[in-house]
């Protein structure tokens, strides 16, 4: 339906007005017709009409009572008090040595919060809510046309972040290899923490899967339940705002998450999950925390987690493959991501044969054990 037609049907009845005026409808139209090169005009409704050259449309202020679960919950999820969800049971560490982290957390697949890493990054003081828009604009001058276009889109979003009611976070940029300002060099805005010196996916070079992101999200946005791609481990460092995490070990399906074959079906929005399922969690069966500015969370390989932005947030996250989770990642790739598996195996063969040999030996051993353990009767016919 065209924008003019939608405006027309708003006059049919109260129900038509309420549903045709729903912001989600006009947001979808903006992304369908204008993509991400839009000019924000205060609401999705006004933005859509402005791009349709309907700039002079005068909207009447209306207070129309109507009963609708859809409309009610859309409003309720953006008003519900998040305070009861802000529990915390993950240990915080400062000055932790790498051997202690390896032994007590990574090898035992236990989440932990580092309190003294993010605060040392230049980005912690530079990438604040107040100056991020200027940062975006200044970076455009040093970008290629494609990169400048990319940054313009996200600068546009930052100027109206407070108006967003997104159901998921949006990503301003990703992948340090693009040359955008998330860098892993010491001279960059942040450095990879000393707890994660190994990243065996680096042998893939430019063919490696996306692994580094700057996350920019408004309050009440977030990520629904998921495991990180290819069974990688991850770290997430918060520069601004607060992020709520709930985590389950990989062998425990979180409540409200359904599996249909190999597909995982989480609730439609992260807020919906917290409203419907958070109070059903049993003490001791899950991990949770509120990550504050300057803190970083380690997320073990294969762990289920969901993230809710308590405030407007800016964070940096990376996925990685260490010696600890390498066997898990290798096995997952072999069965679920054969294209990456083939490339990874070839690169390990060239650059790290010392790592590949035990992986192949374990794979061959597992295949033999599976073969001989099958309880089948063998018959010989002559």
In this prediction, residues 134-161 reach a mean pLDDT of 48
Of the given ranges (13-22, 120-129, 138-147, 355-364), which has the lowest mean pLDDT? 138-147
What is the rounded distance in angstroms from the CA atom of residue 315 to the CA atom of residue 296?
9
Q: Is residue 55 part of a domain?
A: yes
pLDDT confidence of 61, banded at 50, 70, 90?
low
Higher confidence at residue 179 or residue 44?
44
Supply the pLDDT for residue 69.
81
pLDDT confidence of 246, banded at 50, 70, 90?
very high
Based on the fold, state whether residues 39 and 162 are members of the same structural domain. Answer: no
Nearest to 118 by CA among 27, 258, 255, 241: 241
Q: Is residue 91 part of a domain?
A: yes
pTM score:
0.80
Higher confidence at residue 5 or residue 169?
5
Asked whether residue 371 carries a pLDDT value surpassing 80, the answer given is no
HEC readout, the chain: CCHHHHHHHCCCCHHHHHHHCCHHHHHHHHHHHCCCCCCCCCCHHHHHHHHCCCCCCCCCCCCCCCCCHHHHHHHHCCCCCCHHHCCCCCCEECCCCHHHHHHHHHCCCCCEEECCCHHHCHHHHHCCCCCHHHHHHHHHCCCCHHHHHHHHHHHHHHCCHHHCCCCCCEEEEECHHHCCCCCCCCCCCCCCCCCCCCCHHHHHHHHCCCCEEEEEECCCCEEEEECCHHHCEEEEEEEECCEEEEEECCCCCCCCCEEECCEEECCCCHHHHHHHHHHHCCCCCCEEEEECCCCEEEECCCCEEEEEECCCEEEEEEEECCCCCHHHHHHHHHHHCHHHHHHHHHHHHHHCHHHHHHHHHHHHHHHHHHHHHCCCCCCCCC
CA 48-50-51 angle, 5° bins: 70
Supply the pLDDT for residue 28.
85
Q: Is residue 382 part of a domain?
A: no
Based on the fold, state whether residues 64 and 103 are members of the same structural domain. Answer: no
Based on the fold, state whether residues 216 and 319 are members of the same structural domain. Answer: yes
> Per-residue pLDDT tens for 264-308?
787 778 999 999 999 999 877 899 999 999 999 999 999 999 999
> Per-residue pLDDT tens for 226-242?
999 999 999 999 999 99
92-93 and 112-114 beta bridge pairing: parallel
Based on the fold, state whether residues 191 and 116 are members of the same structural domain. Answer: yes
> Per-residue pLDDT tens for 201-216?
999 998 988 888 878 7
Which range of residues forms the domain containing residue 10? 3-76
Asked whether residue 173 carries a pLDDT value surpassing 50, the answer given is no
Distances from the Cα of 177 to the Cαs of 124, 169, 205, 206, 306, in angstroms?
21, 22, 9, 7, 27
pLDDT confidence of 262, banded at 50, 70, 90?
low
Q: Which of 290, 310, 326 is the last residue of a domain?
A: 326
Burial label for 168, CB within 10 Å (0-12, 13-18, 19+), is middle
Q: Is residue 339 part of a domain?
A: no
Asked whether residue 67 carries a pLDDT value surpassing 70, the answer given is yes
Supply the pLDDT for residue 155.
56
| For the chain, percent of residues with pLDDT exceeding 90 | 43
Based on the fold, state whether residues 220 and 256 are members of the same structural domain. Answer: yes
Q: Which of 33, 50, 76 is the last residue of a domain?
A: 76
Based on the fold, state whether residues 89 and 200 are members of the same structural domain. Answer: yes
Higher confidence at residue 43 or residue 155?
43
In this prediction, residues 158-165 reach a mean pLDDT of 57
Based on the fold, state whether residues 8 and 108 are members of the same structural domain. Answer: no
What's the total number of domains in the chain?
A: 2
Based on the fold, state whether residues 46 and 143 are members of the same structural domain. Answer: no
48 alpha-carbon distance from chain centroid: 28
In this prediction, residues 320-334 reach a mean pLDDT of 96
Q: Which of 51, 76, 101 is the last residue of a domain?
A: 76
Q: Is residue 236 part of a domain?
A: yes
Q: Is residue 353 part of a domain?
A: no
Based on the fold, state whether residues 70 and 106 are members of the same structural domain. Answer: no
CATH number of the domain bearing residue 215: 2.60.120.650
Supply the pLDDT for residue 250.
93
Supply the pLDDT for residue 133.
61
Q: Is residue 332 part of a domain?
A: no
Supply the pLDDT for residue 258.
86
Per the prediction, the chain carries an average pLDDT of: 80
Based on the fold, state whether residues 21 and 124 are members of the same structural domain. Answer: no
Q: Is residue 337 part of a domain?
A: no
In this prediction, residues 336-360 reach a mean pLDDT of 93
> Per-residue pLDDT tens for 91-107?
999 999 999 999 999 99
Higher confidence at residue 139 or residue 354?
354
Based on the fold, state whether residues 67 and 94 are members of the same structural domain. Answer: no
Supply the pLDDT for residue 353.
93
Supply the pLDDT for residue 187.
45
Based on the fold, state whether residues 91 and 236 are members of the same structural domain. Answer: yes
């Amino acid at each position: 339906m065209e924008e003019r037609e939608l405006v027309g049907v708003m006059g049919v009845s109260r129900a038509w007005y309420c549903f045709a005026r729903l912001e989600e409808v006009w947001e979808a139209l903006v992304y369908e017709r204008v993509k991400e090169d839009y000019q924000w005009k205060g609401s999705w409704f006004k933005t859509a009409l402005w791009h349709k050259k309907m700039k002079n449309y005068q909207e009447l202020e209306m207070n129309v009572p109507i009963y609708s679960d859809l409309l009610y919950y859309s409003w309720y999820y953006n008003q519900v008090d998040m305070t009861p969800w802000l529990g915390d049971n993950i240990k915080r560490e400062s000055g932790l040595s790498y051997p202690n982290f390896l032994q007590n957390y990574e090898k035992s697949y236990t989440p932990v919060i580092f309190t003294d890493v993010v605060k040392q990054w230049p980005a912690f003081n530079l990438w604040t809510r107040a100056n991020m828009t200027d940062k975006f604009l200044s970076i455009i001058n040093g970008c290629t046309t494609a990169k400048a276009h990319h940054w313009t889109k996200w600068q546009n979003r930052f100027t109206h972040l407070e108006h967003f009611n997104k159901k998921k976070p949006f990503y301003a940029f990703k992948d340090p290899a693009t040359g955008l300002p998330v860098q892993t060099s010491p001279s960059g805005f942040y450095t990879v923490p000393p707890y994660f010196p190994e990243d065996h996916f680096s042998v893939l070079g430019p063919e490696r899967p996306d692994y580094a992101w700057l996350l920019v999200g408004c309050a009440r946005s977030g990520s629904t339940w998921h495991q990180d791609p290819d069974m990688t481990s991850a770290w997430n460092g918060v520069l601004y705002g607060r992020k709520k995490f709930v985590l389950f070990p990989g062998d425990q399906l979180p409540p409200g998450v359904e599996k249909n074959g190999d597909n995982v079906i989480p609730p439609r929005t992260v807020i919906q999950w917290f409203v419907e399922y958070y109070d059903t969690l049993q003490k001791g069966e899950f991990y949770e925390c509120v990550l504050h500015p300057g803190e970083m969370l380690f997320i073990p390989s294969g762990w289920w987690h969901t993230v809710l932005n308590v405030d407007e947030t800016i964070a940096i996250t990376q996925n990685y493959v260490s010696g600890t989770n390498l066997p898990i990642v290798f096995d997952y790739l072999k069965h679920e991501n054969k294209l990456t598996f083939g490339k990874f195996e070839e690169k390990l063969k060239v650059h790290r044969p010392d790592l590949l040999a035990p992986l192949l030996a374990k794979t061959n051993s597992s295949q033999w054990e599976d073969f001989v353990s099958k309880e089948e009767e063998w018959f010989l016919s002559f």
